[in-house]
Amino acid sequence: MAKTKTVYVCSNCGTDSPKWQGKCPNCGEWNTFVEEVVAKDTSSRRFVPGMTDNVKIRPVLLRDITAEEETRIDLKDAELNRVLGGGLVKGSLVLIGGEPGIGKSTLVLQTVLGLRGLKTLYVSGEESSRQLKLRADRLKHDTPDCFILCETNLEQIFVQAQNVQPDLLIIDSIQTIFTELVESSPGSVSQVRECSAAILKYAKESGVPVLLIGHINKEGSIAGPKVLEHIVDTVLQFEGDQHYMYRILRSIKNRFGSTAELGIYEMRQNGLREVSNPSELLLTQNHEGLSGVAIAAAIEGVRPFLIETQALVSSAVYGTPQRSATGFDLRRMNMLLAVLEKRAGFKLIQKDVFMNIAGGLKVNDPAIDLAVISAVLSSSLDISIETGVCMAGEVGLSGEIRPVNRIEQRIMEAEKLGFSGIIIPHNNLKGFESNKCKIQIIQVKKVEEAFRHLF
């Protein structure tokens, strides 16, 4: 029996310390240290899958290494393939993170069921095989090559993986898996770290790609994928509002592709549907004649789409006016309101302002500033913005409209969707031949100028 000792581990970043601390000296988070038991005898700690213990690895000259193009597996899901950088690389370890209930298991199971001619092993530590069967029936996909294993012991999982010899291994989720070599409970930082290191070793040695599911816990009581991010090759984040149907799959880290890619899905009764043209979905409502609606030509990652920003300005009932924003940073909205107040002379002190981005999406692109500010003004004046006009532009503190990136793509997207005009920042069109477009391009320097065009 190995001697044991306890250490305190930060559940946010994984730093360990011999004594408890209120604030983590590494990541600065408060109250994240949890006590964990670790085996003292480190020689027996590491788990080595397979019989590769005595293989000596020697350094080789870089020029002697032959690098073929990584072979990628086509996952038959255009969005997922794109986010992964063109398919799943053999021997890679991909982490799919997201809040509980967002649809990670659904996404992965659906992908697995859509594959043909590839043997997959789906290990679930969360659901029983019956539950998985019910879910698979609901998804209305079927494949003869999917094995299900309901197991949480990592050593057992490796044994079964050895037997099945899958082409793809799924582990749902890393927080439920444990290795016998670490004494703390599943989901603790040391378990998560040890298990994912062993899984990485398995992936690299066998060449089998592994999809790992991980929960993000806001309280930090369970080790979040933060610790994992350093270990895995690719981190995908599945996000969205549970009350809305849209889900975004974002690449946060990718050793085999760009992190600028984005996948959009719609959660349906029978699973997730790929959304190949997001603009058409986000703009379905007919808002002709309604005030407080402005269309922004936004870009998330590298994908342009047009999105509706809605604002409601009403008289404040209480002394302190309310400000609320969904899908948009509240501090940024307050800044934009201050700009509106100062530069355009609109008194918003006694007004409640509510802001909403359609579809429950969170947009980080600063180019939607102009649409936000226009929607607020439109609601405040109760004058609708002409349909067929969209806009893109970052608003500076002095009310100037700053240039934004990828303006050509935004203009092309607006034109493709039949918009008649787009308001863009002045001097943003370097080298772009705008006379080829049918869409009317209006260039503005200040917010006042934009307002003159709109109202």
- Give the residue numbers of the binding site for ATP: 98-105
Min dist. Cβ of residue 126 to Mg ion (A): 5
Comparison of 271 and 292: residue with beta carbon closer to ligand TYD: 271
User: Counting contacts by CB under 6 A, is residue 135 touching ligand TYD?
Assistant: yes
Comparison of 126 and 408: residue with beta carbon closer to ligand TYD: 126
Min dist. Cβ of residue 125 to Mg ion (A): 10
User: Counting contacts by CB under 6 A, is residue 106 touching ligand TYD?
Assistant: yes
Comparison of 173 and 184: residue with beta carbon closer to ligand TYD: 173
User: Counting contacts by CB under 5 A, is residue 105 touching Mg ion?
Assistant: yes
Query: Which 396-415 residues touch Mg ion, going by CB under 5 A?
Result: none
User: Counting contacts by CB under 6 A, is residue 124 touching ligand TYD?
Assistant: no
Comparison of 172 and 261: residue with beta carbon closer to Mg ion: 172
Q: Residues annotated in the binding site, as ranges?
A: 98-105
User: Counting contacts by CB under 6 A, is residue 105 touching ligand TYD?
Assistant: yes
- Which residue in the block uniquely carries the two structure tokens 């069109």? 429
Which residue in 271, 292, 359, 425 binds ligand TYD (CB under 6 A)?
Answer: 271
Which of the stretches 78-86, 99-107, 128-136, 159-167 binds Mg ion when contact is defined by CB under 5 A?
99-107
Which of the stretches 104-112, 201-209, 336-344, 361-369 binds Mg ion when contact is defined by CB under 5 A?
104-112
User: Counting contacts by CB under 6 A, is residue 186 touching ligand TYD?
Assistant: no
Comparison of 175 and 309: residue with beta carbon closer to ligand TYD: 175
Q: Which residues bind ligand TYD (CB under 6 A)?
A: 98, 100-106, 135, 138-139, 267, 269-271
**Could you list the residues that contact Mg ion (CB under 5 A)?**
105
